[in-house]
């Protein structure tokens, strides 16, 4: 809150605020009290759902807890509801409790109780919206994990935006989260990458199974510049130098482009370290001891069909080389050995067939796939400009990259656009829309609401209006229908964050922010905030400024969850 010098205008007033979480806890406590004194014979529910009724005339919030408890209580739902309603009416901050229909409880807050939500949000600041709903969970969140053979493509960019937002959401909900990038720096694709670099360095076309695009020539040139005699080495040694140096350069570029996009990982895990440490031999030994490994056709197999997979999977090929699946087994075990109780992996839809075998390997290692593993699949992203799909990157040659998207619309718009849709939906991202500064552009609409409030608060400071303190603001002044709408929206933010984290759905935050911005604009149009001309600031003026500041807090915190900036001027 931006307090400014001047005389305080408001007296001390009502000090109870009732958010949905507090109301849920209150109803649960009331049920417990009724059980304790013998008025009800039920188990106290672990959680009580409260929701905003569609018709505002039915109160601020409603709950069906009486209907859910009636059977256990052996009494009609309305009778259970009447017991709870009588106790709720005695609670601070509650103005009215009505029993409706078959046993709904419709709850209306006392005047000022809802207004204190704005004070609570401003006072909490960056902490508003954070909960401990997922406290105690240790989550390893793996996303992007693009091979170091080329720039991050548009599919990987979607996972960068969504994965980073999900990590922020999980953290905001109390989980202990580690963001991890797994890069496949071992295997045949790295060999093809090295041969492509060698070809480019000698001015030859890329191998038939190699990689093309301007970036290959650029990296080959950097290798030659760093090691001038590399092209004169024997072929095998030359390819090895291009492999080592090329992977280093490519991965450094990948990390840099992600960092510019606002995505930094806690751990960058190298597949090659699994091979070097003997982790593959160890995990195969573990699986063999558990009775799930057998030999056939000169190869070593994991009997994944025992755990629901459609066919058994090879761990070691007949030529003695390990399979990628063997590395997957070792990598999963490594995560568990590091103490993570839940492994979350984000993959593109083209990896859907991967889910069954991964669940099988988790089960084969003695874990519960339903508890220890979670695989999220995301759909494709299509970029559109002037109504036509974009097909090719100037630099990468065959794919659109993260850098292409950021260049077209900016990092904020790109992150917001990619996180705004459910991951199971294909996106047609209109570059013309997302690059405009207009209300049709969702990220501009939300950021503009934040900047507009910042401008308003600067205006209040210029007028010398004293906003007082949390103890002096008269929140009961906030009674206009548009003010109430805005307060209810602000109160929902912690629940939105928790639900988005639990459902792995960052898009819920984006849609909420757009609704909040619209609710704020409607409030501002209906309720004059700053005095005009020679008018004096009133208690209502101050209360509305706190409400504006609370809205700003939520917009800023919500955008931060998505990794998007909240500008103060636009």
Q: E-strand spans in 392-516?
A: 427-430
Q: Is residue 326 part of a domain?
A: yes
Q: Is residue 545 part of a domain?
A: yes
The rounded Cα 319 to chain-centroid distance in angstroms is: 43
Cβ neighbors of 75 (< 8 A, separation 6 or more) are none
Per-residue pLDDT at 536: 94
| Cβ-contact 169, 137 below 8 angstroms | no
Count of domains observed in the chain = 4
Q: Is residue 482 part of a domain?
A: yes
| Strand (E) or helix (H) holding 241 | helix 235-260
- pTM of the shown model: 0.88
Instruction: Give pLDDT < 50 ranges for the chain.
Output: 1-15
Task: Clarify whether residues 233 and 327 are in a common domain.
Answer: no
Three-state SS across 515-554?
Answer: HHHHHHHHHHHHCCCCCCCCCCCCHHHHHHHHHHHHHHHH
Task: Clarify whether residues 153 and 255 are in a common domain.
Answer: yes
Q: Per residue in 299-329, pLDDT tens? A: 999 999 999 999 999 999 999 999 999 999 9
| Cβ-contact 69, 49 below 8 angstroms | no
- Residue 317's domain comprises 278-378
Domain CATH code at residue 207: 3.40.50.620
Task: Clarify whether residues 446 and 533 are in a common domain.
Answer: yes
136 CB neighbour count, 10 Å cutoff: 9
The Cα–Cα gap between 358 and 320 comes to: 22
What is the longest distance spanned by two Cα atoms in the chain?
A: 92
Among residues 435, 470, 501, the one where a domain terminates is 435
Tokens 């003026």 map to which residue? Answer: 541
Task: Clarify whether residues 167 and 269 are in a common domain.
Answer: yes
Among residues 330, 356, 378, the one where a domain terminates is 378
Task: Clarify whether residues 429 and 470 are in a common domain.
Answer: no
Strand-pairing partners, residue 346, are: 376
Task: Clarify whether residues 250 and 397 are in a common domain.
Answer: yes
- Comparing CA positions, the residue from 46, 43, 91 lying closest to residue 69 is 43
Strand-pairing partners, residue 181, are: 268
Domain CATH code at residue 450: 1.10.730.10
| Strand (E) or helix (H) holding 156 | helix 154-172
Per-residue pLDDT at 394: 60
Q: Is residue 415 part of a domain?
A: yes
379 CB neighbour count, 10 Å cutoff: 16
Task: Clarify whether residues 102 and 152 are in a common domain.
Answer: no
| Cβ-contact 144, 159 below 8 angstroms | yes
The Cα–Cα gap between 65 and 48 comes to: 7
Task: Clarify whether residues 471 and 548 are in a common domain.
Answer: yes
The Cα–Cα gap between 170 and 264 comes to: 16
Task: Clarify whether residues 215 and 335 are in a common domain.
Answer: no
Q: What angle do CA 543, 19, 33 make, to 5 degrees?
A: 135
Cβ neighbors of 133 (< 8 A, separation 6 or more) are 173, 174, 498, 501, 502
Per-residue pLDDT at 110: 84
Q: Per residue in 88-130, pLDDT tens? A: 999 988 999 999 999 999 999 887 888 999 999 999 999 999 9
Q: Sheet harboring 138-142: ordered strands across?
A: 267-270, 176-183, 138-142, 342-348, 373-378
Per DSSP, the three-state class of 111 is: coil
| Cβ-contact 488, 114 below 8 angstroms | yes
Q: Is residue 131 part of a domain?
A: no
| Cβ-contact 433, 441 below 8 angstroms | yes
Among residues 435, 458, 477, the one where a domain terminates is 435
Handedness of CA 198, 202, 207, 211 (dihedral sign): positive
Task: Clarify whether residues 79 and 157 are in a common domain.
Answer: no
């Amino acid at each position: 809150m931006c307090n400014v010098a001047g005389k305080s205008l408001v007296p001390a007033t009502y000090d109870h605020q009732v958010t949905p979480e507090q109301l849920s806890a209150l109803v649960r406590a009331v049920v417990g009290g009724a059980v304790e004194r013998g008025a009800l014979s039920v188990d106290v529910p672990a959680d009580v759902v409260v929701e905003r009724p569609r018709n505002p005339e039915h109160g601020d919030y409603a709950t069906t807890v009486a209907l859910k408890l009636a059977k256990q209580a052996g009494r009609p739902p309305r009778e259970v509801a009447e017991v709870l309603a009588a106790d709720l009416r005695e609670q601070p901050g509650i103005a009215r409790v009505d029993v409706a229909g078959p046993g709904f409880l419709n709850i209306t807050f006392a005047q000022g109780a809802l207004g204190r939500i704005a004070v609570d949000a401003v006072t909490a600041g960056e902490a508003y919206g954070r909960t401990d709903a997922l406290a105690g969970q240790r989550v390893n969140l793996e996303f992007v994990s693009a091979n170091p053979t080329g720039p991050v493509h548009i599919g990987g960019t979607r996972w960068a935006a969504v994965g980073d937002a999900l990590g922020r959401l999980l953290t905001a909900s109390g989980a202990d989260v580690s963001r991890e990038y797994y890069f496949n720096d071992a295997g045949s694709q790295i060999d093809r990458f090295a041969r492509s670099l060698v070809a480019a360095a000698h001015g030859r076309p890329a191998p038939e199974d190699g990689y093309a695009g301007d970036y290959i020539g650029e990296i080959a040139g950097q290798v030659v510049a760093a090691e001038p005699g590399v092209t004169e080495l024997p072929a095998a040694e030359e390819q090895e130098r291009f492999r080592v140096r090329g992977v280093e350069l490519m991965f450094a570029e990948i990390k840099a482009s992600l960092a510019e996009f606002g995505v930094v990982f806690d751990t960058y895990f190298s597949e090659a370290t699994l091979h070097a440490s003997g982790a593959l031999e160890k995990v195969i030994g573990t699986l063999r001891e558990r009775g799930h490994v057998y030999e056939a056709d000169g190869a070593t197999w994991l009997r994944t069909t025992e755990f629901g997979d459609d066919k058994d999977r090879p761990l070691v090929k007949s030529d003695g080389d390990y399979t990628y699946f063997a590395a997957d087994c070792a990598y999963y075990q490594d995560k568990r050995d590091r103490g993570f109780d839940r492994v979350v992996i984000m993959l593109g839809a083209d990896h859907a067939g991967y889910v069954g075998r991964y669940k099988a390997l988790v089960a084969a290692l003695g874990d519960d796939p339903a508890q220890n593993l979670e695989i999220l699949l995301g759909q494709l992203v299509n970029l559109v400009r002037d109504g036509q799909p974009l097909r090719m990157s100037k630099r990468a040659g065959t794919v659109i990259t993260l850098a292409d998207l950021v260049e077209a619309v900016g990092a904020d718009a790109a992150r917001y656009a990619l996180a705004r849709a459910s991951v199971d939906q294909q996106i047609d991202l209109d570059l013309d829309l997302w690059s405009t500064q207009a209300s049709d552009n969702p990220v501009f609409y939300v950021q503009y609401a934040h900047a507009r409030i910042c401008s308003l608060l600067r205006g209040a400071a210029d007028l010398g209006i004293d906003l007082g303190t949390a103890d002096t603001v008269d929140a009961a002044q906030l009674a206009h229908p548009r003010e109430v709408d805005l307060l209810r929206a602000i109160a929902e933010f912690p629940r939105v964050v928790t639900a988005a984290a639990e459902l792995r759905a960052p898009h819920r935050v984006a849609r909420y922010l757009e609704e909040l911005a619209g609710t704020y604009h409607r409030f501002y149009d209906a309720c004059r905030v700053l005095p005009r001309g020679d008018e004096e600031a009133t208690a209502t003026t101050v209360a509305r400024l706190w409400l504006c500041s609370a809205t700003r807090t939520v917009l800023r915190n919500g955008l931060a969850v998505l990794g998007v900036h909240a500008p103060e001027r636009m």
